[in-house]
Amino acid sequence: MPKLLRRALIAAACALPAAAIAQQRPIRLIVPFAPGGGSDTLARLLAPEFGREMGATVVVENRAGAGSQIGAEMVMRSPPDGTTLLFGDTPLATIPALQVAAGRTAPFEAARDFTPISAIAAAPALVVVGAATPWRDLRQFLAAARERPGQLNVASGGVATSTHLMIEMLRLKAGVQLTHVPYRGTGAATPDLLSGQVQAMIQAMATGGPLIAQGQMRAIGVAADRRMAALPDVPTLREQGVDLLASFWWGVLGPLGIPGAMAQEMHRALQAAMGSAPVAARLADLGVERMNLGPAEFKEFLARETARWQDVVQAAGIRPE
């Protein structure tokens, strides 16, 4: 086959809509966490509508381990043919920072080693306390922390997790001493928060919302630039004197080398799925807001997030195990 013809055929294949390519095989959407968490819930909600838009079957697979690193590296090593995608979230930006802090080579940099496809959703971090505590807002909690330096315990889902880093960011921004208490996941920490063994923690609405609604947990601050529609009476951290924005976010990435036309078509399909009636109806209940960042914008976002968390890790002196 002449070289010019071969190049033309390759170019034409790369220009095919992702749907036409993906129809050959199911799309595997890898969730790098165990079933039942926020990422898994959102991925399974999105998958049928994404598949409908793509004209393909989308299968959600859980590949948990190493704080999401195992699932991420599996996708990174997959062929860039659009059939294996990563349902990534905040740890994609925190893992490199933490590995460098530990004196190890980062396993990846998300903006460099993947094909960012679409950032689809974000949920602001909530500072929550048990209902039996006396604090009605963040100002009261921080006043107590200043009166009793190091005596207020704040739980996280584990050392060097996103919730731990957000606690450190809060401590640095507010200028208070808090004692970090790590657990094996935020779910494991919740009973101790409700019983008063720890005084506060950081959660997303998807996990904390039901307990807030039941009156067992109280939200005292939202780390967003505006109040949440689901919690209109809870002021933002900025309203309470702490200039802090922090959120849990989600996006879809593929292995490095996915053709640009394919990535753009998948971005279109993902955004259409997010706007579909079944998905949109559930987002408010989960405390999740839509994001709409295409491949280029998502890549820039990942680079900014990675740099931001590197600064937090260094300032807080975090050293992962």
For residue 47, what pLDDT is reported?
97
Neighbours of 280 (CB within 10 A): 13
Was domain 126-240 assigned CATH 3.30.420.10?
no
Q: Where in the chain is the domain with CATH 3.40.190.10?
A: 126-240
Rounded to whole angstroms, the Cα distance separating 248 from 261 reads 28
- Which strands sit side by side in the sheet containing 179-182, from one edge to the other? 179-182, 153-156, 200-203, 126-130, 217-222
For residue 14, what pLDDT is reported?
47
- Beta carbons of 257 and 80 less than 8 angstroms apart: yes
- Beta carbons of 206 and 283 less than 8 angstroms apart: no
For residue 320, what pLDDT is reported?
65
Alpha-carbon dihedral sign for residues 63, 67, 73, 76: positive
CATH H-level, domain 3-122+248-316: superfamily: Bordetella uptake gene, domain 1 (3.40.190.150)
For residue 229, what pLDDT is reported?
86
3-state secondary structure the chain: CCHHHHHHHHHHHHHCCHHHHHCCCCEEEEECCCCCCHHHHHHHHHHHHHHHHHCCCEEEEECCCHHHHHHHHHHHCCCCCCCEEEEEECHHHHHHHHHHHCCCCCCCCHHHHEEEEEEEEEEECEEEEECCCCCCCHHHHHHHHHHCCCCCEEEECCCCCHHHHHHHHHHHHHCCCCEEEECCCHHHHHHHHHHCCCCEEEECHHHHHHHHHCCCEEEEEECCCCCECCECCCCECHHHCCCCCCEEEEEEEEECCCCHHHHHHHHHHHHHHHCCHHHHHHHHHHCCEEEEECHHHHHHHHHHHHHHHHHHHHHHCCCCC
Q: Where in the chain is the domain with CATH 3.40.190.150?
A: 3-122+248-316
Taking only the tens of pLDDT, the chain with its 321 residues reads 444 433 443 344 444 444 444 456 899 999 988 787 778 889 999 999 999 999 999 999 999 887 788 999 999 999 999 999 999 998 898 888 888 777 788 889 999 999 999 999 999 999 999 999 999 999 999 999 999 999 999 998 887 788 889 999 999 999 999 999 988 778 888 999 999 999 999 998 878 888 999 999 999 999 999 999 889 999 999 999 999 999 999 999 999 999 999 999 999 999 999 999 999 988 887 888 899 999 999 999 999 998 888 888 888 887 766
For residue 315, what pLDDT is reported?
83
For residue 5, what pLDDT is reported?
37
Two structure tokens written together for 155:
């739980």
